[in-house]
Structure 1
Amino acid sequence: MLKQFSLVFCVLFACYVGVNSRELKHITKELEVNAPACEAWELYRNLGLINLIVRKLPNVQNTQVLEGDGGVGTVVKTTFVPGNSSYTEEFTVIDDQKRVKAAKGLEGDCLAFGCSVLIVEFDIIEKSQNSCIIKSIVSYAIKKEFEAKDPKPTVQIEAITQASKEYLERNN
């Protein structure tokens, strides 16, 4: 059911931003966490994950909430070191029932070197009462003129989910 929701979301969002869903490429990762899904969702659903990223990822200099309070429509800018490159995203979906959060990239990352669309989605899937799976999906489309270079997103999904796993298991 959740897999279907994710696919439907990506297709609808791609249509919304003017990209044929067949043009979207996906990078999907799953990580099992020994913590309840409700605790993982609490970390992911608001600004908790953003605050954790600053403390746990050495290449993140800072994050700024440019707009919003952590809900849908919130715009967050993350600045990296070295070089002070940045990535800005807007939260587009926060579904407490399905435990799904998605953000659309606005600037930076692969949008700066050949992608036309970048969508980052996190699904928190309950496995048992005390464990869950954090599923991350990065969906992107490449502009025609950059297809030969095959740009890929550099969003550090694996590092983010690993840092959240360590945090959740340590505090469980």
Structure 2
Amino acid sequence: MLKQFPLVFFVLLGCYVGVNSHPQPLKHLSNELEVHAPASEVWEVYRNLGVLKLAAQKNIIQSLTVLKGDGGVGTVVKVTSLSGNESYTEKFTVINDQKRMKVAQGLKGDCLAIGCSVQIIQFDIIQKSQNSSIIKSDIAYAVKKGFEAKNPKPNIQFVEALAQLVKNFLENKNNA
């Protein structure tokens, strides 16, 4: 019995630590925008690098630098703001063509620079009808311990501006 005590002790300790050391819960900022265009067209702009290249062309951002990859899963990009004073680096972690879902993990910048421990951006393109869809943008984030009073938040206005840019681009293209 005494020989088993250390094993039982460490198993119980491991279970206790595993249950009581959960990360902070994620907070969410979300945006939805209806687009009068088929979901397949909206998805083609959002998947890979399309939306960020369009943002650079239309002066929503100063520059887009691909640090690694070709736009698929594992691609790392750096987006520089118009002022040139701020940049944000992210890695594409999910691109699901069946669900029309793209997920990117923030690596540096935005709220990560001011007290967030994690920042995950998810885009879902939802078909509403044959010629109408919804761009759903969600930013999940967690605040580091000690930064709660400062209440750091990601820049939801950027993903809202991207959605509006895609809406205007596709609706003008389809009406031409």
**SS of the residue 1:97 aligns to:** coil
Check 1:114–1:90 CA distance in 2 against 1; reply closer, same or farther (3 A cut).
same
Contact 1:57/1:159 (8 A) holds in 2: no
- Structure possessing the higher radius of gyration over alpha carbons: 2
Check 1:28–1:115 CA distance in 2 against 1; reply closer, same or farther (3 A cut).
same
Check 1:62–1:130 CA distance in 2 against 1; reply closer, same or farther (3 A cut).
same
| Runs (5+) with no aligned partner, structure 2 | 1-20
Q: Structure 1 vs Structure 2: percent identity of aligned residues?
A: 61
| Alpha-carbon distance in 2 for matches of 1:119, 1:68 | 19
Match for residue 47 of structure 1? Answer: 49
**SS of the residue 1:63 aligns to:** strand
Match runs of 1:51-70 below 5 Å: 51-58=53-60, 60-70=61-71
Match for residue 29 of structure 2? Answer: 27
| Alpha-carbon distance in 2 for matches of 1:154, 1:144 | 20
Match for residue 145 of structure 1? Answer: 146
Alignment of 1:108 onto 2:122? no
RMSD over aligned CA atoms reads: 1.5
Relative to the length of structure 1, the TM-score reads: 0.85
Q: Cα distance, 1:81 vs. partner?
A: 3.2
| Runs (5+) with no aligned partner, structure 1 | 1-17
Match for residue 124 of structure 2? Answer: 123
**SS of the residue 1:126 aligns to:** strand
Contact 2:28/2:139 (8 A) holds in 1: yes
| Alpha-carbon distance in 2 for matches of 1:26, 1:161 | 17
| Alpha-carbon distance in 1 for matches of 2:52, 2:161 | 13
| Alpha-carbon distance in 1 for matches of 2:84, 2:64 | 15
Contact 2:62/2:84 (8 A) holds in 1: no
| Alpha-carbon distance in 1 for matches of 2:153, 2:110 | 9
Match for residue 75 of structure 1? Answer: 76
Alignment of 1:85 onto 2:91? no
Q: Cα distance, 1:83 vs. partner?
A: 4.6
